[in-house]
A and B are shown apart, each in its own frame.
Chain A
Amino acid sequence: MGTAKAALEWHGSTLLRRVTGIVGRVVGGPVIVVRAPGQELPALAPAVEVVEDAREGRGPLQGLAAGLRAVGDRAAGAYVSSTDVPLLHPAFVRRIVGALGQDEDVVLPEIGGHPQPLAAAYRTRLLGVVEELIASDRLRPAFVFERCRVLRLSETALLTDPMLARLDPGLSSVENLNNPDDYRQARALEPPEVNVERFGTLAPESGPRRTVVAACTLGAAAAAVGLTLDEHVVAALNGDQIIRDPELPLAAGDSVAFLAADAGG
C-alpha cells in the first residue's frame, strides 16, 4: 500500500479513525487500539485508548492478547476488528456482539466459508488461553477456537437480523483491503447515504427539512446541508446520543438530527 493501513484516507477520514468510531458507536465500553511497538497512529477520538503489542510480528494473537488484557477488568466481552474495513457497519458489530451469550467464548462469522477472526467477538476470559498459545508459538487464531466454545454464524444466520439484512445485506462489513487495487476500489465507492433532518432555527426557511446526503462523517453531513458543528449546533445520531464530534463516522442508513445546542426550555 505504501502507507500503513491505519492511516489510509477514506472520504476525508482515516481507516483507523473510522473503524474505532464505528465500533465505539456500538460497544458500551472502552475502545482499544493495539499498535506495534513505536508505531505512529493517525489522530483518534480522545476516548480511544492505545496499547502496544509486547512483541512485533507475532500475528493477530499477539494483538488479541494485548487488547483482551487492556479491557479485561472492564468488560466481559470484546469485539475485535482489523483496521482495513472501511465498510464496517454498526449493525454488523451489534449482530456479533449481541450473539455473545453466556454459553459462548467466541462469536465467529463465517462468510463464503471463511472464518473471520478479526470481525469476531471474544470473551475476555480467553486471555489465558491466548497467552498460552503465544508462549508455545501456536499463533493462528484457529488454535484458540479449538480450545473454547465457538458460535459460528454463516451468512444466512447473520442475516436473520433484520437490521443487518437491511443495512448491510452483502456483508460488506468484512471486506478488507489486501492490496492497492482493493484500496482504489474502496475509494471509488460513494460515501454512504444518510438521512438528515434539521430542527428549529436550523431548518431551512423553505423546502423540506428532511433530506438524504452522501456523507462519511458527521461533519460532512452537516456541511452537506450548510451547517457547521459549533457551540450552537449539535447532532443526534439515530435518535440516540447527542454528538458534537465532526469526525464521527456515519454508515449507510444512519439518521442524523441537527438541533440547536440550546435545546430545552
Chain B
Amino acid sequence: MAKAFPGGYFGRALIVDLDTAATEVKPLPESVLRSFIGGAGLGAWLMHELCPPGIDPLEPPAPLMFVFSPLVGTPLTTSAKFAVVAKSPLTGRLTDALASSHFAIAGKLTGHDAIVLRGRCADRSVAVIDGDSVTLTPADDLWGLPAADAERRLRERMGPAWRVAAIGPAGERQVRYATISHDGRHAGRGGLGAVLGSKLCKAVVVRASRKVAPADPGAVLAAAKELRGRSFGPATAKYRELGTMANLLAFNAISTLPTRNFSAARFDEAPALGDEEVSTLRQVARNSCASCSIGCEHIYRGSGGKNTRMEYENVFALGPLCGVSDPDAVIAASGRCDELGIDTISAGGTIAWAMESAEAGLIDAPWLRFGDGDALIRAIEEIGTREGLGELLAEGSRRASRAVGQGSEAFAAHVKGLELPGYEPRTLQAMALGLAVNARGADHNRSGAYEVDLAGGHDRLTGGAPQVAGAIETEDRAAIMDSLILCKFLRGVFEDPFAEWAALLRTVTGWDVDAAELARTARRIVIAKRLFNLREGWTREEDWLPERFLTQSLELDSGRAAALTPDRLTGMVNAYYRGRGLEPTGVPEPGTLRELDLENMSQFDRGSTAIREN
C-alpha cells in the first residue's frame, strides 16, 4: 500500500511542453518537499533540476514555473500566494516573484505543487491547464491587450471558475522587467513576463479540479482563526489603514527616500505625494488579496478617472526617484505600468538613470528631465512599446548604461542588474548589505534587513557586526515566509516566528517539524539560490553596490554625513560570508553543503570565482 502523502501537497509537478502541449508529471519526493517546503524554496530546487545550465532565459528551453505551497488553499490568512520562478532575463540569475490571488488556489488545485512551462508556442497562444491536460488556444485577439483586459475576456469566455495569469504588451515585447499579472496583482520583479512572452504565451489559465486536505483540518481551522484575530492588531495597522504609502513621508523624514536617481535621500516635494495629500483627496477604495484579512490594497483615482492600486514602491520609483511631485502624474504613470505590464521599480530606476544621463548629455533625449511628469509617462509608453528611447530602456539600467558608457554605469542603481527598491543604502547600512548579497539582486522582499536599521538599537549609518547578523536573520525569515507562503505584512504578528511557522506547517503537513529544522531549511534555501547563481556564472563582484553609493556621501539634518565606504561594505560582505558558511570567494564551504544536504547541487567551478580586493 502506497504511503499517504503529507497534507497540503500533491507530490507532483506538471511540466508542460508549449511546443506540443504535451505534459509530463514529475514526482516530488517527500524529502524534497520537506527540505524546500514550496514557493520560492521549492522553486529553487526545481530550477536546479529543470533549467539547463547557461540557458538564455528568453530561449524556448528555459523554464518558467508557477510554484505553490502547502498552505495554499487552507483558511490561513494571506496564504493564497504563489511564486513565479525563472532565470531572470534582467539579471541572468535566479528570480522568484510572489503574488497573491485566486490563481494560487486554482493553480494548486489543478492537482500540482508546481506548473512548469517549457518550449515556445507555435503561435500566440493561451495555455489552458485543466488537471493534467493542457490545451493551447489562439491568443491573436488578446495580443496587445493589458493583462487585466485579457484576463477579463478569458474569464468571460471560459467562465468564472477559471483563473488567469497574463502578460501585458511589455511582456509580449520581452521588456526585461515585464510582469505577470492576475487579479490586479503582479509577479513583478526580474522580468518573468518577458519569459512568458518569449514563449508566445499570453496567459496561463487554470481551474480547480482536485482537492487536497491538510493533515489536521481541525487544528488548521483553529490556527487560522487565531492568526486572523492577530492580523487585526497593531502590527498590521499601517498596512490596513494607510497601506505602504505611509512609508513615503516617514522615509523622507529620516533621509531614506531615494530621490533623483539616488543623488539625494530627501525630496522637498514629498508632502505632495504623501498619504495625507493623496489618500484624502484621491483614495476611492480598499481591497484585500484572496484569503487575506489585512487588506493592504489602497486604490486611488487619477485625474483621468482611472483607478490605480498605489504602494510605496510605485510612488517612490515614479515620484521622488524621478523627481516627479505631481500626484496625478505618478498615479497615471503607475497605472500605465500596470496596463503595459512593467515592474514599477525597475521602470522608475531605469528612467531615473536615463533622466540623469540625458541631463548630463550622455543620451540624446532633451525631453527627458527630472521632475517632468509628462516625460515620465512618455518614457513608460516608449518602454512598453520598445519605441524610440524605449528600445534602450526596455533592457534595464545595467544593459542600458553599458550600451551608453561614458561613465553612466556609475549611476545605474542596480545590483546584479535588478534596480534598487526605495531604501537608501547609505542611511540604512544593514539594508545596504542585504541589497548587495541577495541572490535576486537589489531587493527588499528577499532581504528585510531594513528592519534592523529601522528598529533602533544600532547605528544605521555605521554598518558592522549587528547589521550583518540582522541581515542574515531577516533573509532567513524571508526564505521561510516565501516558501510557506505567508505575506510579509503579517511578519509583525509572530513573536517567535520559526516556532510558530513550524507549528503551522505541522498542522498542515503532519510532519514533526520544529523551529530548529525550519531555521536549517531557511539556510538551505538561501544557499540553494546562491548555488544556482554560481552555476550560472556568478562571481563575488556581483555582491556589491554601484559606485555612487560608495563614493558619494549624504548629509543629514543632524549634521552627520552618511557614507558607505568600499572598506566597510567589504567588511560586511566578508562577515556575511562567514556567517553563512561561505568561503571568502562567496562559494559555500564543503561543510556547509554537507550540513544542508546540498552537495548534489554544487555544479559550479569552485576555482572560477574572484575575490574583491579593496
Contacts and interface: CB of A to CB of B under 8 A. Distances in A.
Nearest to B236: A262
Contacts of B238: 200-201, 260, 262
Q: For chain A, which range describes its interface: under 10, 10 to 19, 20 to 34, or 35 or more residues?
A: 20 to 34
Interface in B465-497: 488, 492
A157 to B, nearest CB: 19
B557 A239 contact: yes
Q: In the complex, which of the residues B422, B451, B456 has the most CB atoms of chain A within 10 Å of its own CB atom?
A: B456
A199 B238 CA distance: 10
A244 interface: yes
Nearest 7 CB-CB pairings of A with B = A200-B246, A240-B558, A238-B558, A239-B557, A242-B456, A199-B250, A257-B253
A237 B558 contact: yes
Contacts of A236: 253-254
Nearest to B266: A239
B377 to A, nearest CB: 24
Interface in A181-203: 197, 199-201, 203
Contacts of B366: none
B418 to A, nearest CB: 15
Given A200-B275, A257-B250, A262-B492, 16 more contacts: A238-B558, A239-B266, A239-B557, A240-B254, A240-B461, A241-B460, A242-B456, A242-B460, A255-B557, A259-B254, A264-B444, A264-B448, A265-B247, A265-B311, A265-B444, A265-B488
A264 B253 contact: no
B249 interface: yes
B362 interface: no
22 contacts: A163-B559, A199-B249, A201-B238, A203-B276, A232-B237, A236-B253, A236-B254, A239-B558, A240-B556, A240-B557, A242-B454, A242-B456, A242-B460, A244-B456, A257-B254, A263-B247, A263-B250, A263-B454, A264-B454, A265-B312, A265-B421, A265-B488
Contacts of B312: 265
A23 to B, nearest CB: 15
Nearest to B444: A265
Q: In the complex, which of the residues A199, A200, A264 has the most CB atoms of chain B within 10 Å of its own CB atom?
A: A264
Nearest to B255: A239
B445 interface: yes
A261 interface: yes
B284 to A, nearest CB: 19
Q: In the complex, which of the residues B246, B422, B492 has the most CB atoms of chain A within 10 Å of its own CB atom?
A: B246
A243 B459 CA distance: 10
A209 interface: yes
Interface residues of B, number: 44
A234 interface: yes
Interface string A222-253: 00000000001010111111111100000000
Contacts of A255: 557
A94 interface: yes
B453 A94 contact: no
Contacts of A242: 254, 453-457, 460
Contacts of B241: 201
B331 to A, nearest CB: 19
Contacts of B454: 234, 242, 259, 261, 263-264
Interface of A: 94, 163, 197, 199-201, 203, 209, 232, 234, 236-245, 255, 257, 259-265
B556 A238 contact: yes
Contacts of A237: 558
Contacts of B423: 264
A232 B460 contact: no
A48 to B, nearest CB: 15
Contacts of A203: 276
B262 interface: no
Q: In the complex, which of the residues B444, B445, B454, B558 has the most CB atoms of chain A within 10 Å of its own CB atom?
A: B558
B560 interface: yes
Given A232-B234, A240-B556, A265-B313, A200 B242 contact: yes
Interface string B258-280: 00000000100000000110000
B353 interface: no
Interface in B104-126: none
B251 A263 contact: yes
Nearest to B311: A265
Given A201-B238, A260-B237, A244 B444 contact: no
Contacts of B255: 239
A201 B246 CA distance: 8
A260 B312 CA distance: 15
A239 B250 contact: no
Given A236-B254, A239-B558, A261 B455 contact: yes
B244 interface: yes
